[in-house]
Amino acid sequence: MSCCSHCPSPDAGPGGPAQRRVLWAALAINAAMFVVEVAAGLAAGSASLQADALDFLGDAANYGVSLAVVGLAIGLRARAAQLKGLTMAAFGLWVIGAAAWHGLHGTLPAAGTMGVVGALALAANAASFALLWAYRDGDANMRSAWICTRNDVVGNVAVMLAALGVFGTGTGWPDVIVAGIMAALALQGAAVVLRQANAELRAAKRDLSSRPRRSGRLEYRPKA
Ligand SMILES: [Zn+2]
């Protein structure tokens, strides 16, 4: 669920062209599923689909960061993490708002769409995991990718269970409850990301002020 918020991205240094292709593919899958789930969530009136989309957003951001800033100064990575944390927090608040709106208005989400898109999300997560597994680079990376995928699957299954609950009860409450829990976990994850990014930024500043310039071109410079 909120795995993407604090799992390290499965990169290990600069990586070869094959590993970069895999990261691009994983980025494409996760970005596409983010769009699909947001659109389907709006169309079906389902807040839990939108909450599940949060995870794809976070994972896509992780792969994007891996591709863009691998090997750059820690300050830049921390800035990227900060941006990601803020984006996820904003989106998490939006999902909580959507869940509250649906709860207050007693809307009935389209259970069929929820179930189908939840299953599609499960397939997408399985596909990303298979890609990363084939190009795994060390046990530690694989372990984090595995934990992330496991948590992603929990989220996808929660959406499918919500669909079943909506279908069974004829009310939107299962959708609202699942969305609320997932969005709260995502907000918690965003807070962890932001705390960590802030700590890294502080450390980078200390590092720069206590040492002479390093030889990197893309060095982080704190604002005076
Ligand atoms: Zn994830």
Q: Measure 104 CA to ligand 1 centroid, in angstroms.
A: 29
Q: Tell me if residue 211 falls in helix, strand or coil.
A: coil
Which residue range forms the structural domain that includes residue 102? 13-203
Residue 4 placed within a domain = no
Residue 210 placed within a domain = no
Better pLDDT: 58 or 220: 58
Task: Give the dihedral sign, CA 81/87/90/92.
Answer: negative
Residue 63 placed within a domain = yes
Q: Measure 212 CA to ligand 1 centroid, in angstroms.
A: 39
44/94 Cα distance (integer angstroms): 17
Q: Measure 52 CA to ligand 1 centroid, in angstroms.
A: 9
pTM of the model: 0.80
Q: Measure 107 CA to ligand 1 centroid, in angstroms.
A: 28
Residue pLDDT, tens place only, 102-159: 999 999 999 999 999 999 999 999 998 888 887 766 656 666 667 778 889 999 999 9
Residue 209 placed within a domain = no
Query: In this predicted structure, what is the pLDDT of residue 4?
Result: 54
Residue 212 placed within a domain = no
Q: Measure 150 CA to ligand 1 centroid, in angstroms.
A: 8
Query: In this predicted structure, what is the pLDDT of residue 150?
Result: 82
138 φ, ψ (degrees, to nearest 5) = 100, 150
Here the tokens at position 80 are: 């990227």
Residue 165 placed within a domain = yes
Q: Measure 151 CA to ligand 1 centroid, in angstroms.
A: 7
Torsion angle, alpha carbons of 56, 61, 64, 69, to 10: -160
The structure tokens 């046990």 sit at 139
The number of distinct structural domains making up the chain is 1
Q: Could you count the other beta carbons within 10 Å of the beta carbon of residue 16? A: 11
Residue 187 placed within a domain = yes
Here the tokens at position 199 are: 């700590």
Q: Measure 56 CA to ligand 1 centroid, in angstroms.
A: 6
Ramachandran area for residue 107 (φ above 0: left; ψ -120 to 50: alpha; else beta): beta
Q: Measure 75 CA to ligand 1 centroid, in angstroms.
A: 24
